[in-house]
Amino acid sequence: MAAGVLSKRARIGAMAGLVRAGLAVPMLLALVGPLGPSRAFAQGAPAATAAPEAKQSPAPAPAKGVQTIPILIARELRDEPLPLSLLDLPPADLGIAGAKLAIKDNNTTGRFMNQKFTLDVVEESNPEKLIKDVVAKVDGGAHFILADMSPNTLLKLADALANKEALIINYAAPDDRLREEDCRPHVMHVAPSRAMLADALAQYLIWKKWRRWFLVLGPQEKDKLFADALRRAAKRFGAKIVEERTFKYEGGSRRADGGYEQVQQQIPTFTQSAPDYDVLIVADEGNLFGDYLPYRTWEPRPVAGTSGLVPASWHPAIELWGGTQFQNRFKRMADRTMRPLDYNAWMGVRMIGEAASRTRTNTYRDLVAFMKSPNFEIAAFKGVGLSLRNWNGQLRQPVLVTSPKLLVSVSPQPGFLHQFTVLDTLGVDKPETKCRAYTQ
Amino acid sequence: MRSMVGFAWMLGVFAAFMVPAPAAMAYNAFVTNEKDNTVSVIDTDKLEVIKTFKVGQRPRGIILSNDAKWLIICTSDENLIQVYDSKTYQLVKTLPSGPDPELLILHPSGNPLYVANEDDNLVTVVDINKGSLITDIPVGVEPEGMGMSPDGTVLVNTSETTNMAHFIDTKTHKTFDNVLVDSRPRVAMFNTAGTQLWVSSEVGGTVTVINPKDRKIIGKVQFEIPGITKEAIQPVGVRITKDGKLAFVALGPANRVAVVDTATLKVIKYLLVGQRVWQMAFTPDGKELLTTNGTSNDVSVIDVPKLKVIKSIRVGRYPWGVVVAPF
């Protein structure tokens, strides 16, 4: 199995008897303060930039031969502990099913364009072998790679492909560093970054006037990174983290007979004696303890973050903007509901399809140039057109704010303004970016 | 006493106004309320709802049969089309459709009916008299808008994820051309002369005007409204006056209807209506245009000669489609 960060940990279950109240020393975040919105949110900004040049669509000229566009999914199989809830167990085809649906959609359009899209999947737990396999496929003619891998593996793959005709579309890793200091010119990101997710949640909480946050984070590296994004969001939008605690747990099996009795005792204890707060925010990306928090806190307060009210790129119950048909198509094909990773992968493959039908070509260079151009826009059941940030290759998109069963809201929230597009109130904006490689 | 006098005076004024011919003809407009599963009937003279009746689940697209006897309604969550008597509001029959029917259009001869069948990437052709399925026509992903050339030879369907206007020969039921337009095309509308086809792109924020003869793009209508973000400008419904001079474009969450000069493809005026305006219908005399405003639960009435919004009428929840009968 992969020698990833997580494999060093035992499978962590946080079940009965193993949950131990962290009782970490309450660490008040230094000087968050009631800061106003950042300079990006200038009031009364001009409504829109000049209308973009009309996208030309000459009448279709039937091509002689069919243009084929092979797409590759590369997945690093990681030994990660399973989430608490039976409902959250990852299906084997997570992400892949979304890509398959997009291939079908692309081919329906392709019928009219004389274009054909194919999907190939490489799954591997050894990062070196995975990279070797992907490089071989690229040399064999696959130029578009949808990646689901750890940040380190993704960077190694990007460097291995640096001098080849290869575009990596990251549909899984939310790490901001991949879009910032470690950005690469041939890597695009359809998965929202942690900063985008945290900002989306923060905007909704500010809209709700729930400004005092009690932050509980898990001990894993990714939990710390999400907590960083939440602290940044609090500062940007004027929330205050009144208390911060780390929830510690020991490894164990995910399930055991019984279990709720001890949790029922431990969570109230863990959350007591906090200063007054409006909402408890949990950073537990693996869903290893966060779902224990709702309804068990010492004070009767809502829970948000990675449990309770959750920001996400997709939700299996969203039906807005024609989403119903999209959900139905997916369910018929995959025999399960669509998860954010499926949606992200769908979007990655659709972007390639969109570029191919607009440019009427399967030439790598033309497709990538079009995707990076200001004319590129994709409709993806979010009510507005999505496009790529030209400073780091991140797809700008509205982020859903969801409860377990329904959509609660969609961010950006009303009142958060931006000089160019309100979608750039989510995540790292152009003046703040540390990415230099992408624009070179 | 004073108020009584005032009232009498007002009655007098009212009576004085009543003597000359009424400003608008009385027609019945029918509005589907997507969330209430009802149809609101509006008297276009009184400009008020005179009746609300129950229909099937999630009513959206609504049209009238050529003789105006039938209201033909897509009841999307029942996966079929319901036919109601337009005078008694009784259910006459149901017609087959694919799952989740949304928009439909009749052949100018009155039969058959063409239905966009979003779930299956098909346009379904239905004989409305026999109540039977004639055929299915494969189109792009998520077919939606349906336009019919005035001579009935060409059906145009738009596909929301494929982003095309598919030109279909109504005799052979085959697509003979496909024109790429901007993202998420929602509505296709011919002018009465058949010289222009207007296709609205909801996410692209434009309307593409196509020459139906050679399927070349004549031009694109762009919209810009001070104080409204580019993302909120989402063109959906399109209606063109009988003389072909003006087009009205419903701009969704921009809460406005754009009035466009069809010769220059430039916007002349933006009319503020209710929230998330999608579909529209002219009264048969062409003097008024009714718009459905989904999130504010009302219908705006536009005076077409004056280009002014004269009234908003509260209807059911999430009004979606609208059609006006010649009675």
The architecture (CATH level 2) of A8-46+64-192+315-397 comes to 3-Layer(aba) Sandwich (3.40)
Compute the average pLDDT of residues B301-306. 98
Least CB–CB distance from B179: residue in A49, A59, A322: A59
Q: How far is A31 from chain B (nearest CA, A)?
A: 35
CATH code for the structural domain at A195-312: 3.40.50.2300
Pairing of strands B185-190, B197-201: antiparallel
Least CB–CB distance from A384: residue in B216, B225, B231: B231
pLDDT higher than 70, residue A2: no
**Cα–Cα distance between A371 and A362 in angstroms, integer?**
13
What phi, psi does A25 have (nearest 5°)? Answer: -60, 125
Does B163 contact A384 at a Cβ distance shorter than 8 Å? Answer: no
pLDDT higher than 70, residue A31: no
Place of tokens 């400009």: B47
Contact B45, B25 (CB under 8 A): yes
What phi, psi does B235 have (nearest 5°)? Answer: -65, 130
**Cα–Cα distance between B105 and B146 in angstroms, integer?**
6
Does B230 contact A59 at a Cβ distance shorter than 8 Å? Answer: no
- List C-alpha distances in Å: B3 to A380, B11, B16, B131: 59, 12, 20, 60
- DSSP H helix total and E strand total for chain A: 10, 15
Q: Which residue in A has a C-alpha nearest to residue B177's C-alpha?
A: A60
Residue A77 burial class via C-beta count within 10 angstroms: exposed 0-12, middle 13-18, buried 19 and up: middle
Compute the average pLDDT of residues B179-187. 96
Least CB–CB distance from B229: residue in A328, A383, A422: A422
What phi, psi does B314 have (nearest 5°)? Answer: -70, 130
Percent of chain B with pLDDT over 70: 93
B-chain residues within 8 Å CB-CB of A421?
Answer: 229-231
Does A329 contact B119 at a Cβ distance shorter than 8 Å? Answer: yes
Q: What is the structure's pLDDT at A60?
A: 46
Q: What is the structure's pLDDT at A65?
A: 87
pLDDT higher than 80, residue A30: no
Sign of CA dihedral A334, A405, A237, A301: negative
Compute the average pLDDT of residues B138-159. 96
Half-sphere exposure of A20 (CA within 13 A, CB side): 11
How many beta-carbon pairs under 8 angstroms link A with B? 106
Q: What is the structure's pLDDT at A251?
A: 65
Does B180 contact A422 at a Cβ distance shorter than 8 Å? Answer: no
Contact A303, A408 (CB under 8 A): no
Q: What is the pLDDT of residues B238-266, one digit of tens each?
A: 999 999 999 999 999 999 999 999 999 99
Does B231 contact A105 at a Cβ distance shorter than 8 Å? Answer: no
Compute the average pLDDT of residues A350-368. 96
Does B182 contact A55 at a Cβ distance shorter than 8 Å? Answer: yes
Does A379 contact B163 at a Cβ distance shorter than 8 Å? Answer: yes
Least CB–CB distance from B119: residue in A47, A325, A377: A325
* Interface test with chain A among B35, B58, B184, by most A beta carbons within 10 Å: B184
Q: Which residue has the higher pLDDT, A173 or A59?
A: A173
Q: What is the structure's pLDDT at B10?
A: 52
**Cα–Cα distance between B256 and A78 in angstroms, integer?**
51
Q: Which residue in B has a C-alpha nearest to residue A58's C-alpha?
A: B216
Q: How far is B251 from chain A (nearest CA, A)?
A: 13
Does A325 contact B222 at a Cβ distance shorter than 8 Å? Answer: no
Indicate the SS3 state at residue B158: strand
ipTM of the complex: 0.79
pLDDT higher than 50, residue B291: yes
pLDDT higher than 50, residue B168: yes
Contact A216, A283 (CB under 8 A): yes
Percent of chain A with pLDDT over 90: 76
Place of tokens 């500062």: A235
**Cα–Cα distance between A289 and A249 in angstroms, integer?**
8
Q: pLDDT band at A255, cuts 50/70/90? A: low
Least CB–CB distance from B204: residue in A48, A109, A377: A377
**Cα–Cα distance between A402 and A406 in angstroms, integer?**
6
**Cα–Cα distance between B152 and B115 in angstroms, integer?**
15
Sign of CA dihedral B129, B145, A343, A133: positive
Query: At how many degrees (to 10) do helices A364-372 and A340-359 cross?
Result: 110
Place of tokens 């010769």: B263
Does A48 contact B224 at a Cβ distance shorter than 8 Å? Answer: yes
Compute the average pLDDT of residues B151-162. 96
A-chain residues within 8 Å CB-CB of B99?
Answer: 328
Nearest of A261, A258, A268, A312 to residue A287 by alpha carbon: A312
**Cα–Cα distance between A383 and A227 in angstroms, integer?**
29
Q: pLDDT band at A52, cuts 50/70/90? A: very low
Least CB–CB distance from B142: residue in A60, A322, A377: A322
Least CB–CB distance from A112: residue in B140, B219, B224: B140
**What's the gap between Cα A147 and its chain centre?**
13
Q: Could you report how far apart the first and last alpha carbons of chain B are, in Å?
A: 42
B-chain residues within 8 Å CB-CB of A358?
Answer: 180
**Cα–Cα distance between B219 and B264 in angstroms, integer?**
9
Nearest of B38, B62, B55, B110 to residue B281 by alpha carbon: B62
Start-end of CATH 3.40.50.2300 domains in chain A: 8-46+64-192+315-397, 195-312
List CB contacts of A313: < 8 A, sequence separation 6 or more: A191, A192, A340, A343, A344, A397, A399, A400
Sheet bearing B48-54, strands edge to edge: B48-54, B38-43, B28-33, B319-324
Q: Which residue in B has a C-alpha nearest to residue A397's C-alpha?
A: B231
Helix/strand/coil percent split, chain A, to 5: 35, 20, 50
Q: pLDDT band at A258, cuts 50/70/90? A: low
The runs of H, that is alpha helices, within A29-141 are 96-113, 127-139
Q: What is the structure's pLDDT at A12?
A: 34
Does B141 contact A322 at a Cβ distance shorter than 8 Å? Answer: no
The residues with which B123 forms a beta bridge, in sequence order, are: B116, B137
Q: What is the pLDDT of residues A390-405, one digit of tens each?
A: 999 999 999 999 999 9
Residue A291 burial class via C-beta count within 10 angstroms: exposed 0-12, middle 13-18, buried 19 and up: buried
pLDDT higher than 80, residue A138: yes
Q: Which residue has the higher pLDDT, A280 or A261?
A: A280
pLDDT higher than 60, residue A63: no
